[in-house]
A and B are shown apart, each in its own frame.
Chain A
Amino acid sequence: MQRQVALIKQSLFDQGYLDEQFMELEELQDDANPNFVEEVSALYFKDSARLINNIDQALERGSFDFNRLDNYMHQFKGSSTSIGASKVKTECTKFREYCRAGNAEGCLRTFHQLKKEHSTLRKKLEHYFQLARQAGPKETARRPK
């Protein structure tokens, strides 16, 4: 079971969903904070879902206030970086570039992609945490080999 968990985690890294930052977070997890990483992830997804909503609405309005969109994205990027959500972060960067270029279509496309990555990551992490919980708290803290 633990091995499975480790494998899943490893694959997440390998596939580029997560990066070193996630590892750092795991380092922070300890007995005093046994579910730290999971908690942080939950927070992240909650926050980011809200952000995504905001961006969605802004885009739907069709007004394309690039400044504002850029701000949202900056925030999104900040938290994605903090948690180590690598692919999401990449999409954020792309989105911001399109914003700066004033490319509405590019923004839309990227955002769509971003949402996809985001939900994929979410599912994967949820799955991972679930397994980890089943495998036992201590194991999850281990870094992928």
Chain B
Amino acid sequence: MTVEQNFEALDQFPAGMRVLAVDDDQTCLKILETLLRRCHYHVTTTNQAQKALELLRENKNKFDLVISDVDMPDMDGFKLLELVGLEMDLPVIMLSAHSDPKYVMKGVTHGACDYLLKPVRIEELKNIWQHVVRSRCDKNRGSNNNNVGEKRDGSGNEGGGNSDQNNGRANRKRKDQYNEEEDEERDDNDDSSAQKKQRVVWTVELHKKFVAAVNQLGYEKAMPKKILDLMNVEKLTRENVASHLQKFRLYLKRISGVTNQQAIMANSDLHFLQMTSSLNGLDGFHHRPTTVGSGQFHGGTPGMRPFPSNGILGRLNSPSGIGVRNLSSPPAGMFLQNQNDLGKFHHVSSLPLNHSDGGNILQGLPMPLEFDQLQTNNNNKSIAGSSMAFPTFSTQQNSLIRAPNNLVVLEGHPQASPSGFPGHQINKRVEHWSNAVSSSTLPPPQTSNSIHHQFDVSPLPHSRPDPLEWNNVSSSYSIPFCDSAATDTTNPGAFSRNTDFDSNANAQPGVFYDSLQMRQSGNYGPTTDAAMLSNNPKEGFVVGQQKLQSGGFMVADAGSLDDIVNSTMKQEQSQGELSGGDMGYGGFSSLRTCI
């Protein structure tokens, strides 16, 4: 939207808000249109999802909000939802006659900002503009961070603290944003300032750097300013980093929170990136050249290294080195992605990473290629409705993708509930990620056998193995689980591994990682290892590693993210040595606060 347009629209906002309504039922569409007009919105309608996508792609700034029916003949409403979220980063409201909570949940996990039941009433439509404001504020927050980096004091609590402020300022900001796009003098907190919105695309490489920096600093101590310094990227502002970090944390938290075996692993990475990418409109999502919206998971996306099957993660990692973008959000899950169900991460990523800076949180995540794939997949697919953000992953093994709500991504993996590992895992993952990313050549999952080795990942927790190392290491790791996973999406082997691990792992947050690792088989190398370790402490593979680090993590039955985080954090702290502080995430606590 141009400033001028926005400006005008803003004046009367919410009147004049541009809505795109999609519903194959002509009767409902007409009624909806009239209702919307009655609310003084500017309405465009179409009864075909494809047409809607075209309209949106034609000009992203043409619409403020999309309302879509769920049951449509030419495309699943959820799929459209994901695509729109990823590509255009617009708020989408789902509409359906289904009041079944499963559908509502699906809508939420696919990124819908609201779910309305038919027949829709005008009262409900009168308030839908709030979603637009909210998403703008979030974006502003992200961009403000970028702009106001310098101005702001280097407050460590990016995201967390600011969000409050941001919210408070949201409304004000929104208007400000419109009116004062260039207002760089805003002294708001990182998030709230309505500064010029600069979308930073968190490419895989960038994310890798980010993750590496976080690891280096230590998850807990990771402050945007320091991360920024470490990353040493031109034109990246503290706000960018702060918001990305926030997302990443949220993502990790979310991932760890999704204990479902399925979801977290696979989805997290991809999800993270996806999530973020959706925010960013998928630009950087994985750098995957694949067209977003192509709906297909790039199973083998470019660069995706080892993960052939899991494409998703692979994509995440591969294309540009795993630009786990908004890693912040995806909790451990992200890393876990490596599992076959990278897609799982995807689900997990339902995290609100919709930061403008490119929701590709996952991208940056070192999650071995898998993430990459996931990401890319996610991005492209984003939606595939099937929770599979990471299509590649879930496909085979885990049906993660299908995970009911993206969250679950890891379905296949019994252990998928990585949620347990939050802190620890994340760190590991981060490292993994960065490693993975850096070494875009993540060792193909083939090493499945060596999986166990991977858990040696010790390098992970302790030291920040340079990315390359990680990869090397990971390669061996990831494979164990992934045996076949890496190579083919359906790594039954990989799954099995997980399952085996699951015995313990599943319960644990670590499981997530395990699953991921396993799945990813190869790429995950570093990350997966962590996961693996954490997941199956018992397994032995990881145990070594995990035990060290997350002794506590994994075990936790990651029933809830909080638990995981807590346990992770505790673990982290107690295991200082383990994590070596590298894992930045050690400090889930910080994550917590952020979230």
B22-52 CB contact bits vs A (8 Å, 1 = yes)? 0001111011001100100000000000000
Chain A: interface secondary structure? helix
| Residue among B27, B96, B119, B121 making CB contact with A43, cutoff 8 Å | B27
- Asked if A83 and B27 sit within 8 Å, CB to CB, the answer is yes
Q: Within the complex, which residue of A27, A33, A36, A75 is in contact with B25, where a contact is CB–CB below 8 Å? A: A75
For the complex formed, measure the closest distance between the CB of B106 and the CB atoms of chain A, giving whole angstroms.
16
Residues of B within 8 A of A36 (CB): 34
Q: Do B27 and A79 have beta carbons less than 8 Å apart?
A: yes
Q: How many residues of A contact B (CB 8 A)?
A: 24
Q: A24-B121, A25-B31, A33-B34 are in contact. Are A43 and B97 (CB under 8 A)?
A: no
Give complex CA distance A36, B26 in Å: 14
Q: From B30, B38, B96, give the contact of A40 (CB < 8 A).
A: B30
Residues of B within 8 A of A24 (CB): 119, 121-122
B25 touches A47 (CB 8 A): yes
The answer to whether B122 touches A47, judged by C-beta atoms less than 8 angstroms apart, is no
Binary per-residue interface labels of chain A (55-92) against chain B in the complex, 1 for a CB within 8 Å, 0 otherwise: 00000000000000001001101110111100000000
Is B118 engaged at the interface, CB distance under 8 Å to the other chain? yes
Least CB distance from A83 to B in Å reads: 6
Q: How far is the CA of A33 from the CA of B34 in the complex (A)?
A: 9
Q: Do A78 and B31 contact each other (CB < 8 Å), given the known contacts A21-B119, A24-B121, A24-B122?
A: no
CB contact between A47 and one of B27, B34, B96, B98 (< 8 Å): that residue: B27
Residues of A within 8 A of B26 (CB): 43, 46-47
Give min CB distance, A54 to chain B, whole Å.
12
Give bound CA distance, A27 to B121, whole Å: 11
Q: Are B27 and A82 in contact (CB under 8 A)?
A: yes
Q: How far is the CB of A139 from chain B (nearest CB, A)?
A: 20
Q: Are B34 and A78 in contact (CB under 8 A)?
A: no
CA of A46 to CA of B71 in the docked complex: distance in angstroms? 19
Name the residue on A nearest B72 (C-beta): A75
Q: Which residue of B lies closest to A42 (CB)?
A: B27
A82 proximity list for chain B (CB < 8 A): 25, 27-28, 31, 118-119
Give the residues in chain A near B97, CB-CB below 8 Å. Answer: 74, 77-78, 81
User: Does A44 touch B at the CB level, under 8 Å?
Assistant: yes
Interface flags for B118-130 (1: CB within 8 Å of A; 0: not) read 1101100000000
Q: Is A97 an interface residue (CB 8 A)?
A: no
Q: A39 in the interface, Cβ–Cβ < 8 Å?
A: yes
Residues of B within 8 A of A47 (CB): 25-27
Closest to A21 in B: B119
Q: Please determine whether B27 and A44 come into contact, CB atoms closer than 8 angstroms.
A: yes
**Of A33, A43, A79, most B-chain CB atoms within 10 Å:** A79
- A79→B25 CA distance, assembly (Å): 7
How distant is A29 from chain B, measured CB to nearest CB, in Å? 9
Name A32's closest neighbour in chain B (CB-CB). Answer: B37
In the complex, A48 Cα to B98 Cα: how many Å? 19
* Contact across chains for B30 and A75 when beta carbons are under 8 A apart: no
Q: Which residues of B contact A74 (CB under 8 A)?
A: 71, 97-98
Q: How far is the CB of B122 from chain A (nearest CB, A)?
A: 7
**How far, in angstroms, from A46 to B97 measured CA to CA in the complex?**
20
Q: Which residues of B contact A84 (CB under 8 A)?
A: 119
Task: From the candidates A27, A39, A48, name the one contacting B30 in the complex (CB within 8 A).
Answer: A39
Tell me the nearest residue of chain B to A78, going by C-beta: B97
Residue of A nearest to B98 (CB): A74
Least Cβ–Cβ distance between B119 and chain A, in angstroms: 5
Shortest CB distance A88–B (Å)? 12
B119 / chain A contacts, CB cutoff of 8 Å: 21, 24, 81-82, 84
A96–B34 alpha-carbon span in the complex (Å): 29
CB distance from B100 to the nearest CB of A (A): 11
Of A33, A40, A71, most B-chain CB atoms within 10 Å? A40
- Chain B residue nearest in CB terms to A48: B27
A residues near B71, Cβ cutoff 8 Å: 71, 74-75, 78
A28 at interface, CB cutoff 8 A: yes
| Shortest CB distance A91–B (Å) | 15
Contact B27 A40 (CB under 8 A): yes
Closest to A27 in B: B122
Task: For residue A28, give the distance in angstroms from its CB to the closest CB of chain B.
Answer: 5
User: A28 to B27, Cβ gap below 8 A?
Assistant: no
Residues of chain A contacted by B118 (CB below 8 angstroms): 78, 81-82
Which A residues touch B96, using CB under 8 A? 78
CB-CB < 8 A to B28: which residues of A? 78-79, 82
- B38 close to A43 (CB less than 8 A): no
Inter-chain CA distance A33–B26, complex, in Å, is 17
Binding site for A on B (CB under 8 A): 25-28, 30-31, 34-35, 38, 71, 96-98, 118-119, 121-122
Q: Apart from A77-B97, A78-B97, list 13 A-B contacts with CB within 8 A.
A: A21-B119, A25-B31, A28-B35, A28-B38, A40-B30, A46-B26, A75-B25, A78-B96, A78-B118, A79-B28, A82-B25, A83-B27, A84-B119
Q: List 21 A-B contacts (CB under 8 A).
A: A21-B119, A24-B121, A27-B122, A28-B38, A33-B34, A36-B34, A40-B30, A40-B31, A43-B27, A47-B26, A47-B27, A48-B27, A75-B25, A77-B97, A78-B28, A81-B119, A82-B27, A82-B28, A82-B118, A83-B27, A83-B31
Please name the 9 residue pairs, one residue from A and one from B, whose CB atoms are nearest each other, closest first. A78-B97, A79-B27, A44-B27, A82-B119, A82-B28, A43-B27, A81-B119, A21-B119, A28-B34
